[in-house]
Structures are given as C-alpha cells and as structure tokens.
A and B are shown apart, each in its own frame.
Chain A
Amino acid sequence: MKYPLLAFLATGPAHGYELKQSYEARFSPFRPAVNVGQVYTTLQRLERDGFVRRHGVVETGEAPARHLYEITEDGRGALEVWLRAPVAGVRLREDFFMKLVLARAAGLAAPAELLEGQRTAALQELHDLNELLLAPKLQDLTTQLLIEGAVLHLQADLRWMDLCEERMTQEEVP
C-alpha cells in the first residue's frame, strides 16, 4: 500500500479517499477493495517517515475535514529507489515441492500420484485464465498482460512437474 500511495501522490496532492479510489481504479480486478482506514494508517506512517506532509484541508462541508497530503523530496527519493529495484519472484510452487519431497522421503505416497492431482489443478487454472483472457470486460492492456504472465508461469510449472516425474520415476519404469 505504501508505494502505490506515494506513486499516486507523485502526480499531485490528494486526500485519503481519493487515494483509495485511485488504487481501486488501477488494480480493481487484481486486488481486493481497500478500506479507507488502511489508507489513513499508511498515510500516517508515511508522514512519520517524512515521505509525505499535510497540505491543508479540503472543505467538504462535512465533518471530519479531509486532509490533503503531498509527497516530499524524501518521498520521491524512496519511490524512485523502490520503482527501479528489481524484484525477486516466487519461482516455484514451494508448498507443493515440500509435499513432493516429503512424500518421497517418507514413502507416504507415490510422487506420480501427487503430480497427477497437481497437474489437473494447474491445467484447470490454465483453462480458467484462458477463459478470462477472452472475457469482454477484461480486455485492457494491463489485465491482459497480467493474465498472460500467469499463463506462462503455469506452463513452466507443468513442465517442471513433467521433469519431476521423469527424474523421480526413472528407477521404477514399469
């Protein structure tokens, strides 16, 4: 939440409710709705760190008055650093890998059986994502690219499962 808020403030001062709306407009299919309380808590933390400061209030005629926030030079610096830092991704389905290793080590289940269930789940997920790619409501560029990214990850997962099966069953070819 912290960096998205800084990024929205980098384009000009805004109050908490506006920031909540910007966030939802950008990320709505991917992220759950945020509550405005969470936005204000984050703003307070950013203020304490010197990344934003108050910039007067907007008179809405309602109580409580809404504080406008603006980004500081330090805030811009922090945003810049965050934006340009490469991100380490999750490379594997770690939970599944753990199950696979344990099942094999403890002789609890044949890896092939676990792989079978995992493959079905991954194929179904691929199916669902491909359906979403075609959904008329989700044709904007960011959404399409995000789904395509997830599709490529799933393809890699499935290939990796093939590799696991091949290597783990080499000694027990029927």
Chain B
Amino acid sequence: MTELMRTVALTKRYHANDEEVAALRGVDLAVERGEFVAIMGPSGCGKSTLLHLLGGLDIPTSGEIHFDGRRVDGLGEAAWAVLRRRQIGYMFQSFNLIANLSVADNIELPALMAGHSSREARRRRELLTRQLGIEAQAVMPPGRISGGQQQRVALARALINEPALLIADEPTGNLDSHSTRDVLGILRGANERGQTVVLVTHDPNVASRADRVLRMRDGLIVGESRLEGRTPSSDLLQALVTVED
C-alpha cells in the first residue's frame, strides 16, 4: 500500500479569553491508501481538531500535513476548497447543512460544484439516499428532519463526489443500532471500492469495523490497535455461552 496522508508533529493551540488550550500536542499520523482508520478518545482530547486540520478547515499552529504526495498545510483556502471538492469528503460533527436548501439540493451541491451534470448529480443523490434510508426526506429542508436523518444527509453529501479520502466526525453519533448498521454498510462499501476512510467515533462497535483504531488523549495519539479483517469460524460462538451442568 502507498501512503495517502501523513502528518508530522502536528500541533494546534487555541486562544480563548486569555487562556491557551493545547488541543493537539504533536501528532504523527500516517494513513495508507485504502485504509479504514477509526480514532477514539475522551471528549476534548482533540479528535475534531485533528480532523479539521486534515480537512483544511483550520490552520495548524505548527507541523506538516502531506496529502497525496504533496505538502498541503500551507495551502490557502481556495486551494483547500478545490481539494475538498475533488478528493476529500468531509462530514462534520455538527452536520453544517444549508438551512434554506432542500435535503436533495444539499447533497447534490458538491457534485454540481465539481462540474457534474444535474442529471448525474441527481442519479448519485438518489442512490445514496436510498442506501441510507432517507429518500422520503429529499424535498424537506434540513431543519424539518430528525438529527439522525440530518446525519445521514451530511454523510451522503460527503460521499457524493466519491472522494479518495472520507473524513467523518462521529458519523453514527445520533443513530440507533439499525441506522448505524446502514451507515457502516455505506462506509465499508466505500472503503471496499478503494476509498480511504478516517473517522472519529465514541462507539467501539463502529471502531471495530476499521483496519486500525487509534486512541487519543490530551492532544496526542497514545495507542493503536490493528485489527485483522478475518472471517471467523462459527466455533467462536461456543465461547459465548457457558452453561452450568
């Protein structure tokens, strides 16, 4: 495998009311092409901050970011916008849907901006909304659908341009177990077609679908679990049940 993204000694400090917060304190992260990486860690440890920097939504205080063989941490907003339109799909923790556009238009917008015909944009949107079970919401404004539905709209929007890298912040945070499975199915499908996925989650069940699970604490990556993508034998089930004789 080849490397898609890498950070070197990435730091981010925020200044808020005279207080300095060291949100990231030196993150070295390398992501392979086609990899599925999950990031876990307690609230406030810097997960969203890291994703923001990886998606070019905020500027690092120091350190480097390399994407697809070139250094991108110094790029201006316009260049990042192009990158996000073509190669990086970003799903926000807070969705960031456009309130006065319908669900359908929210999802199709990035496709139109990337130069696809309106017919192609519609075809892609219909496929994604069907897979995510939000077809019926297409004509609604985002403010009139549930949190879990908004989340799936945000995911559809992030995926519509089939980005090489999908960055998702808590993609299943508001979902019940059934919808979580739908979303995981979509993410796995995208990953199996070669798209690289980096997501943040609090749900170990979601993390267990990844190739690699990273743990963050206090602005640092402190641990890593590599998981085998094996197909287990059903003998495993015998260990689940113990019976008193």
Interface residues of A (CB under 8 A from B): 1-2, 27, 29-32, 90, 112, 116, 119-120, 122-124, 126-132, 135, 137-138, 143, 146-147, 149-151, 154-155, 158-159, 162, 166, 173-174
Contact = CB atoms under 8 A, between A and B. Distances in A.
A124 to B, nearest CB: 5
Contact of B205 (A124, A126, A149): A126
Contact of B237 (A1, A2, A116, A132): A132
B207 A123 contact: yes
Interface of B: 42, 203-205, 207-209, 213, 215, 218, 220, 222-223, 225-232, 234, 236-238, 240-243, 245
Given A31-B243, A166-B42, A174-B218, A151 B205 contact: yes
A124 B213 CA distance: 10
B205 A30 contact: no
A83 B85 CA distance: 60
Contact of B225 (A29, A123, A173): A123
B240 A123 contact: no
B241 A132 contact: no
A155 B204 contact: yes
Contacts of B228: 124, 127
A120 B40 CA distance: 13
B232 A123 contact: no
A157 B99 CA distance: 40
Contacts of A30: 237-238, 240-241
A132 B205 contact: no
Given A119-B225, A120-B225, A123-B227, A128 B204 contact: no
A127 B227 contact: yes
A29 B208 contact: no
A29 B218 contact: no
A31 B205 contact: no
Contacts of A166: 42
A137 B231 CA distance: 13
Given A119-B225, A123-B204, A124-B228, A173 B236 contact: no
Contacts of A126: 204-205, 208
A144 to B, nearest CB: 11
Contacts of A147: 237, 240
A32 B234 CA distance: 11
B237 A29 contact: yes
Contact of B213 (A2, A123, A151, A159): A123
Given A128-B230, A131-B231, A146 B237 contact: yes
Most chain B CB neighbours (cut-off 10 Å) among A32, A112, A127: A127
A174 B231 CA distance: 39
23 contacts: A2-B245, A31-B243, A32-B238, A112-B222, A116-B225, A120-B227, A123-B208, A123-B225, A126-B204, A126-B205, A127-B229, A128-B236, A129-B232, A129-B236, A131-B231, A135-B231, A137-B234, A146-B237, A146-B241, A149-B240, A155-B205, A174-B218, A174-B220
Contact of B218 (A90, A151, A173): A173
Nearest to A4: B243
A31 B124 CA distance: 46
Contacts of B205: 126, 130, 151, 155
A-B pairs with lowest CB-CB distance, top 3: A126-B208, A120-B225, A128-B232
Nearest to A38: B245
A132 B232 contact: yes
Contacts of A119: 215, 223, 225
Contacts of B208: 123-124, 126-127, 130
Contacts of A90: 242
